[in-house]
Structure 1
């Protein structure tokens, strides 16, 4: 195990929870940070807090309400429909979210003596969000190091995984049932398998079905 300290950017969803367990197995000390940016569901914050408590991980919640004011979107405005149209960014995209989240996570990390920042962004199974791309993460990593003269490492364990492979990772970490039953990914605020209809639920379900099929057939993902 790496004895260094890590901060996990944590929403209580499938990806960030898988990353939390990944970090807990790799680093000597792990803390989690969740951002309150006026998202649709208080339940997301509650879910993150519950998981952190259950896993005995120190949990920070930072106020990012200004992001709600600057970047109206379907995740912060009930009157904006959740839509994912071909050739357009989904209405759930929040301008600057990962830029700000990772920057504030880095500020926190430096204050508590953590070098590693773990995030669940993914370029393989994603909705076209520009701030989930590997090139953005690498660019920001350099910028953060220069801005604070500190050796940050942004870890992205899910970057090149499909959603099915993310389920597989949870299985390999021994937390498959926990991640499936205790996390909140649904845009409509329903824990576990969710509403089954929103884009996030459909992606989660598709990945689960592909993972189960591959496991039953004994084929590699």
Structure 2
């Protein structure tokens, strides 16, 4: 039986769009919330808006530009190169405090519209070492949010223990493989669909897709 109402933290990328399709299956009513934090590609917000419209869910943008004033990173600064972390350092794409703030404001928004469930596409299996994508962080924040607002929110992380191949399988199981492949924006260089093929996000996404398609073909033989 479907649960009542949920808010999806939504960027228009592969992971959050997979979570949106998952939410549409699990909940009676689904809303999305997107954050404008000065990201290099405004196309990301427009992509999210178009997907939400096509899937018939509400779309709300919150201004989180303060993050850009505080954190120097490759997702908000064009003069910082996108690169993996070296010698134990975090990648240049890590935005400090992003998921802490996004999930907190998503919960506040959820309360305003009468939703008890918040869904995010963070993942601890195929990730870049971001500390705010870990399961322990999400569980800790869930408790803190409930205490801070005297509510009973549940933060759902459908992708937490899936690698990228398994995430593509979930998309396929949800009947959304082609949609997510063609219409989402994951690329750090702002290329919709299969992306530029060169940035770390595209490499991870495309490797997972190729691995899944090979597994699927082998299973069909």
Structure 1 residue runs of 4+, over 6 Å off? Answer: none
Once the two structures are superposed, residues 37-82 of structure 1 have per-residue CA deviations (whole angstroms, 9 ceiling, x without a partner) of 0000010000000000101100010000000001110000000000
Matched residue, 2:144: 143
| SS of match in other structure, 2:192 | coil
Q: Could you tell me how far 1:85 is from its partner in structure 2?
A: 3.0
Residue 72 (structure 1) aligns with: 72
Q: CA RMSD in A?
A: 0.9
Give 1:83's aligned residue. Answer: 83
Supply the distance in 2 between the matched residues of 1:209 and 1:114 (Cα, whole angstroms). 37
TM-score, scaled to structure 2: 0.98
Give the superposition deviation at 1:141. 0.3
User: What's 1:58 paired with?
Assistant: 58
- CA distance in 1 between counterparts of 2:104 and 2:4 reads 20
Q: Could you tell me how far apart the structure 1 residues matched to 2:197 and 2:191 are?
A: 9
Give the 3-state SS of the residue equivalent to 1:73 in structure 2.
coil
* CA deviation profile, 1:142-184 (whole Å, cap 9, x unmatched): 0000000000000000000010000000000001000000000
- Which residue in the other structure is 1:7 paired with? 7
Looking at structure 2, the residues matched to 112 and 20 of structure 1 have their Cα atoms a distance apart, in angstroms, of 17
The aligned residue for residue 180 of structure 1 is: 181
Gaps of 5+ in 2: none
Aligned equivalents of 2:9 and 2:85: distance in 1? 28
How far has the Cα of 1:114 moved from its partner?
0.3
CA distance in 2, matches of 1:72, 1:53: 32
Pair 1:213-2:214 in alignment = yes
DSSP-derived class of the 2:33 partner? strand
- How big is the shift at 1:200? 0.2
The Cα shift of 1:88 comes to 1.6
**Structure 1 gaps, min length 5:** none
CA shift for structure 1 position 218: 1.7
* Cα distance in 1 for residues equivalent to 2:161 and 2:190: 27
Determine if the alignment matches structure 1 residue 199 to structure 2 residue 200.
yes
Which residue number in structure 2 is paired with residue 104 of structure 1?
Answer: 105
Is residue 2:44 matched to residue 1:47?
A: no
